[in-house]
Every structure is written in C-alpha cells, then in structure tokens.
Structure 1
Amino acid sequence: MKFVLDTHTHTISSGHAYSTVMEIVKEASNKGLKMVGITDHGPTLPGGPHMYHIANTKVLPDELYGVEILKGVEANIIDKNGGLDVPEEILKNLDIVLAGFHKPCLAPDTREQNTNTLINAMKNKYVDVIVHPGNPQFEIDTLKFVQAAKETGILVEINNSSFKKSRIGSKDNCIKIAQLCKEYNIPIIIGSDSHFALDVGNFDEVKKVLEDINMPEKLIMNTSVQKLKDYLKLKGKDRFVK
C-alpha cells in the first residue's frame, strides 16, 4: 500500500513547529509524495499565526518540486456549538480545512458533551477533516462520532503523531475508530501532524494498524491524489470545482 499525500503539516508559523513551507515541500518531494497540505493552527492556540497569515496562504504556489500544495488550516474548536477560531469568510477560500480539539482552546467536558461539540463542528460545511479524534483528553462516543461522519461526509483522520509523542494514550481509541470506519464504510485520511519537516509523510504507526485490521485501500484517501481531489470537488472547494 503506497501513500502519496499528507494533509496535516505545520510550519514555523504555528509557533511550536520548526520548518518552513519550502522545507516541508522539499521533504515531501524527497519521499515521493505528490500532495501535501500546509495546515498551520488557527490563531487561538498559543503561538498560532495571525488570521491574515491563514487568509494569505493564497500566495503559495499550487505546485512546487513536483508536489501539489493544499493551502489550509487546522482550526481549533472553541465552544460547545462547534464554533471554530477561523471565520467562514476565510475558511471558504481554503483548499482544505481540518478541525479538532486542543486543550488551550477549549477545556475537555463530559463524554456526551465532547461528542456533541465535535458533531456540531462537523456540521460546518467548510470542514473537511476531523483531526486526532482518538485523543483521550477529549473522550467521545466513538460510534456516535463515526455515524455522524457518515451522515456529514466528513473525513476521519487517523493521526500518526498520536501513536508517538502527542496525545499519549490515543492508540486504542484510534484503532477502535479505524475499525468502526471499516465497518461503516467511511473513508479515513492519515495525517503525519508533522511539526518538523523530516516527519512529513511519516505514517509508520498508522500503517501497521491499518494492515492489522485489513482496512480496504478504497477507504484510505492517502493512496490517490485524484481520490482526494474528487472529495474536495464534491465539497465545493473552488480550486477543484473550476
């Protein structure tokens, strides 16, 4: 199984990451990736970029070093209504929008409330991917979440970083979510969540899990650039509709 894209990477503009756009794209090219998402954090996370930085990703080229560049954001969920810290007038112009929980932006609540909050965020028509939903700090009803992903057409991320240094204790939750996605025929997308260029396209831990559960390749978005483009076209992203 060959993975050709990574939709979750962070540049120095996220404040706690350590590589530039050029370094990330070069590394993606070195690893044979065909597409990479530049998805710095929304401004509510400490150290995050100004809103103008996110809006101005339009100045980035569509392709560099043979790698197509998705201009996006990892927006932070900031309230129980699923509100995000990036306004819709900016979200609608991005190629891809990731959304997820981060403790500095919203305190964890009960399992039921966390689930409802996440589902509310999934109803935002500009959101494409829910990131690291296996985070044990934000306990959720995984079945209800996966069923909502099917209803809303949102991609479920299985985050490689969650198996390593970030969000310790995520593995069992991630495996359960992946199994449910297989059962309910819901597409997933793998994100490296790279905060340093050498981690771009690093999916080693997630790959083991997907092989162990025999996840069908048709449900893994990372195996085809065209598959992801078709999804983003269905979501009405201007770049892929034109």
Structure 2
Amino acid sequence: MKIIADTHAHTLASGHAYSTIREMAAAAKKRGLKALALTEHAPEMPGTCGLFYFQNLDVVPREADGVRLLMGAELNIMDPDGTVDLPEKTCRDLDIVVASIHPPCYGLDHTPEENTRAYVEVMKKPYVNIIGHPDDGRFPFDYETIVRTAKETGTLLEINNSSMRPQSSRKGTRENILTMLELCRQYEVPVTTGSDAHVDVDAGNFTNVREMLDYCNFPEELVITTDWDRLKEFLGIR
C-alpha cells in the first residue's frame, strides 16, 4: 500500500514543533509524498499561533520542492458541546481542517458519554474534514457511534502515526485503532493517515500506520491517502 499524502503535521508556528515549512516539505519529498498538510494548532493550544496566522495563509505558496502543501488547522475541541477555537469563516477558507481533543484545552474529567457527544457535535460541522487521533484511551468514547457518524457526515477518521510511538502520552492507542479499523471496515468508512509530525524527520513517517493497516488487512480503497485525485475531490481543491 503506497501512501501519498500526510494530512496532519506541524511547523514552528505551532509553538512546540521544530521545523519550517520548507524543511517539512523537503522531508515529505524524500519520503515520496505528493501532498503534505500543515495543520497548526488553533489558538487555544498554549504557545501556538493566533487567529491572524490562519487568516493570512493565502500568502503561502501551495507547492514546495514539488510537494503540494495543504495549509490548514488542527482545531481544539473545547467541551462536550463540540465548541472549537476558530471561526467558521476562517475554517472554510483553509485547505484542510482537523479537529482533535487535547488535555490542555478539553481537560481530562469528562465521561465517555460526554466525549462521544463532543466528537459527534464536531463532525456535524461541515467545515471539519478529519477527526485527529481518535485513539487516546484518556478520552474513552463509543467507537461504533463515532464511526457511524463519520459515515453520515462524510468525516474522515485519522490513523495517527505519532499516537503509536512508545513515548506517546496517549493511552491504549493500538488497541483503540484496531477497534476503529474493524468498525470502519464493517461500515465502509474511509480513513486518512497523519504523521502528526512535530519535526521534519517525522513528516510522512507512517511506519506504525502501515503496520496496523497490514496487521488487520485493511482495504486499500478505504485509505483515502493512497489516491491523490480522490483526496483532492474530498477536500474540494484543484
């Protein structure tokens, strides 16, 4: 299975990432990618960039080193009502929008029912393309509900390479990803692949992702990042 796009990565602008746009693009090129999404953390994440950063992204060329750049954001899901931290108009002007739960913004004290509701409400927002790292056992939720909602709303669920690093703070990720993949196969829900790279050497690194996809013999036709034309159509870009 050849993965040609990374739909979740960060640059220096996110505050706790360490490489520039050009460094990330060069690394993606070395890994043979056609496209790289740079999805900086939205404003409520401590240390990241502000609103105007996202409103000014039209100045950034959409190609570097022959790699198509998708300039976007990783929204923070703020509460069980699915509140996010960028205005809808700003999100609609981006190439790609990921929404994720992070402890500094969402907290660690919500119930599985509240976590499930948070994801469902976010997926109802038509400008959200992807749910980022829905694999962290610190935020348990009902996987069947989330997979079925993803199918209904046309939202992609992410297989996150960084989540499966041995040093990751996320809990139970491999088991949770396997559960999600089996449900995605059952309901024919496509997934996307994100390195969640915070430094250039990890851009397009899908070592753990490929291992999981191979382990469960996941259908290639349900991995949207194996087909650039299909991904472009999904995102509505040229």
- Same fold by TM-score greater than 0.5: yes
Residue 148 of structure 1 corresponds to: 149
Q: Distance in 1 between matches of 2:62 and 2:198?
A: 21
One-letter amino acid of the structure 1 residue matched with residue 21 of structure 2: V
Q: Distance in 2 between matches of 1:68 and 1:9?
A: 13
Q: Per the alignment, in what secondary structure is the counterpart of residue 209 of structure 1?
A: helix
Q: Distance in 1 between matches of 2:40 and 2:204?
A: 16
Residue 181 of structure 2 corresponds to: 178
Deviation, 1:80, is 2.0
Return the TM-score normalized by structure 1.
0.95
**Residues 194-225 of structure 1: per-residue CA shift (max 9 Å, x gap):** 00001011111111111111111110011111
Q: Per the alignment, in what secondary structure is the counterpart of residue 106 of structure 2?
A: coil
1:187 lines up with 2:185 in the alignment = no
Q: Per the alignment, in what secondary structure is the counterpart of residue 8 of structure 1?
A: coil
Percent identity (aligned): 43
Q: Distance in 1 between matches of 2:57 and 2:228?
A: 20
* 1:42-121 to 2 correspondences below 5 Å: 42-108=42-108, 109-121=110-122
Gaps of at least 5 residues in structure 2 are none
* 1:198-213 to 2 correspondences below 5 Å: 198-213=201-216
Deviation, 1:169, is 2.4
Residue 34 of structure 2 corresponds to: 34
Q: Per the alignment, in what secondary structure is the counterpart of residue 186 of structure 1?
A: coil
Comparing 54-63 with 69-78, greater Cα deviation is found at 54-63
Q: Distance in 1 between matches of 2:103 and 2:158?
A: 18
**Residues 149-188 of structure 1: per-residue CA shift (max 9 Å, x gap):** 1111100001010001331421100111011111110000
1:221 lines up with 2:221 in the alignment = no
Residue 236 of structure 1 corresponds to: none
Q: Per the alignment, in what secondary structure is the counterpart of residue 104 of structure 1?
A: helix
Return the TM-score normalized by structure 2.
0.96
Deviation, 1:55, is 1.6
Q: Per the alignment, in what secondary structure is the counterpart of residue 72 of structure 2?
A: strand
- Contact preservation (8 Å) 2:138, 2:171: no
Deviation, 1:48, is 1.1
Comparing 165-174 with 147-156, greater Cα deviation is found at 165-174
Gaps of at least 5 residues in structure 1 are 234-238
Q: Distance in 2 between matches of 1:27 and 1:206?
A: 18
1:161 lines up with 2:181 in the alignment = no
Q: Distance in 1 between matches of 2:185 and 2:200?
A: 30
- Contact preservation (8 Å) 2:161, 2:195: yes
Q: Per the alignment, in what secondary structure is the counterpart of residue 193 of structure 2?
A: strand
Q: Distance in 1 between matches of 2:48 and 2:124?
A: 24
Q: Distance in 2 between matches of 1:110 and 1:225?
A: 38
One-letter amino acid of the structure 1 residue matched with residue 67 of structure 2: V
- Corresponding residue pairs, total: 235
Deviation, 1:140, is 0.6
Q: Per the alignment, in what secondary structure is the counterpart of residue 145 of structure 1?
A: helix
Q: Distance in 2 between matches of 1:212 and 1:10?
A: 28
Residue 137 of structure 1 corresponds to: 138
Runs of 4 or more consecutive aligned structure 1 residues displaced over 4 Å after TM superposition: none
